[in-house]
Structure 1
Amino acid sequence: MNPIQKFSTPCVILAGGKSSRMGKNKALLPFGGCSSLAEYQYRRLQEIFESVYISTKDSSIFEFEAEFIEDDSETSAPGVAINTLFNELYAHEIFLITVDAPFVSFKTIGEILERGKEGHEAILAKTPAKKHYLIGLYKESILPRLEELLEEKNYKLSALVESSETLFVDFLDEEEFSNLNTKEEYQAALAKLPSRVK
């Protein structure tokens, strides 16, 4: 059997949040047989992407080897991180996923990347309950608008998405996109393993 052909688009795991509702850094919580949720996501996504990075404020907190991109801005906002990523990676497009969304399937990721060929500036996941601004593909063509918003100190990602050529790809499974924001959600996610892996 031939090995899986990996996606050439760089994948970045966003792990720079404050985890205020969890009460501790959720990226560091043990998960799926790995030292942390961040390591679990990193190892898992390496199976389908040629290059995987972790976006963080401080790479020294992690106990495993990985490709880290540090965002040294005092402002904690996804838009700031996205701007840093494009400047660091010199990529035409970047697939983003949050560290606390471990059940997004390879099939779903493939569907989003496939729709990225249609020419939109952002291709993001959407479920009946919400739009997932941080699970999807962003193109470098959004940078001028993003930089304008950052200069205006408008850090709402919705402002970027709504003023760009954005395609939302519909998915029905809410659980696939569940975030681990609280201790209860973390415990529930542990109970789902390994049934929801990949």
Structure 2
Amino acid sequence: MVRNNLLSAVILAGGNSSRMKTNKALLMLEGQTILQIIINQLASYFNEILIISNTPEKYLHFKLPVYRDIFLNQGPLAGIHSGLKHMSNPYGFFVACDMPFFSPELALELLSDLTEYQAVVPQKGKYLQPLHAAYRKDCLPQIERVLQEQERPKIISFYELINIKYLDFTQRPAREWDQVFFNVNTPEDYELAKRMKMERFALGSQKRTGC
């Protein structure tokens, strides 16, 4: 089991938001930006939270360290690399900035296996969730090798070079996979996210009132 004081959380706020046509991290849900929702959730579990973005000026008001990619124009793997490079702890949970319903409890579950594995990634069938995953700092040499040898490599390009565990979601409720890993990529996704947020709020209110 990994001790909490060895954990960092890294929010990946890169990408061009080409389908959304606006900054996804700063979209509002129930009066808060998606990024603030993620930060609030992480703050209860992690004493170090970093943001990785090549436009750091957009995120300074969140009062968190913001770092650029070291390997420029190399896609999200470069963001993971920068996060691992800059985090002060040996174990990190990485989450995309457009995942408002991510699970910090699942994050801790993923991190708990990093004493034995260099990375723990959720999997369901052929689908992986590399942007809601746990990575150890000692993945850096393998990631750097891939970034140096390939142009805009896929995130999973370094997986075959490390000791990795895939957390199987096959037997878990489909709703958990669909909600936790929901990405706000398009205007339609954003409208759906607003409805999902309202439903979750209503469900929480019912539980608090005992209805």
TM category, shorter:
0.7 to 0.9
Q: List gaps (5 residues or longer) in structure 2.
A: 205-211
**In the alignment, which of 11, 17, 20 is matched to residue 18 of structure 2?**
20
Structure 2 equivalent of residue 49 of structure 1: 46
Change (3 A) 1:110 1:85: closer
**In the alignment, which of 174, 178, 187 is matched to residue 182 of structure 2?**
178
| 123-132 or 141-150, larger mean C-alpha shift | 123-132
Structure 2 equivalent of residue 127 of structure 1: 124
| Letter aligned with residue 180 of structure 1 | V
User: Between Structure 1 and Structure 2, how many residues are aligned?
Assistant: 191
Pairwise CA distance, 1:85: 2.0
Given that residues 129 and 174 in structure 1 are in contact (C-alpha distance below 8 angstroms), is that contact kept between their aligned partners in structure 2? Answer: no
Pairwise CA distance, 1:90: 3.8
Cα distance in structure 1, aligned partners of 2:107 and 2:11: 13
| Letter aligned with residue 81 of structure 1 | G
Pairing 1:37-116 to 2, within 5 Å after superposition? 37-62=34-59, 64-72=61-69, 73-116=71-114
Identity %: 26
SS in 1 for 2:158: helix
SS in 1 for 2:62: coil
Q: List gaps (5 residues or longer) in structure 1.
A: 1-5
The Cα offsets for residues 145-190 of structure 1, whole Å up to 9 and x where unpaired, read as: 1111111134221111232211111233222211111111111111
Pairwise CA distance, 1:57: 1.2
Cα distance in structure 2, aligned partners of 1:127 and 1:104: 16
Cα distance in structure 1, aligned partners of 2:54 and 2:161: 27
Structure 2 equivalent of residue 162 of structure 1: 160
Greater Rg by CA = 2
Given that residues 56 and 68 in structure 1 are in contact (C-alpha distance below 8 angstroms), is that contact kept between their aligned partners in structure 2? Answer: no
Q: Per residue, is there more helix in 1 or in 2?
A: 2
Runs of 4+ aligned residues of structure 1 deviating over 6 Å after TM superposition are none
SS in 1 for 2:20: coil
Cα distance in structure 2, aligned partners of 1:102 and 1:140: 25
Cα distance in structure 1, aligned partners of 2:77 and 2:129: 14
Cα distance in structure 2, aligned partners of 1:80 and 1:133: 13
TM-score (structure 1 length as normaliser): 0.86
Given that residues 107 and 134 in structure 2 are in contact (C-alpha distance below 8 angstroms), is that contact kept between their aligned partners in structure 1? Answer: no
Change (3 A) 1:82 1:66: same
Alignment root-mean-square deviation, CA: 2.2
TM-score (structure 2 length as normaliser): 0.81
Given that residues 28 and 62 in structure 1 are in contact (C-alpha distance below 8 angstroms), is that contact kept between their aligned partners in structure 2? Answer: no
Given that residues 60 and 66 in structure 2 are in contact (C-alpha distance below 8 angstroms), is that contact kept between their aligned partners in structure 1? Answer: no
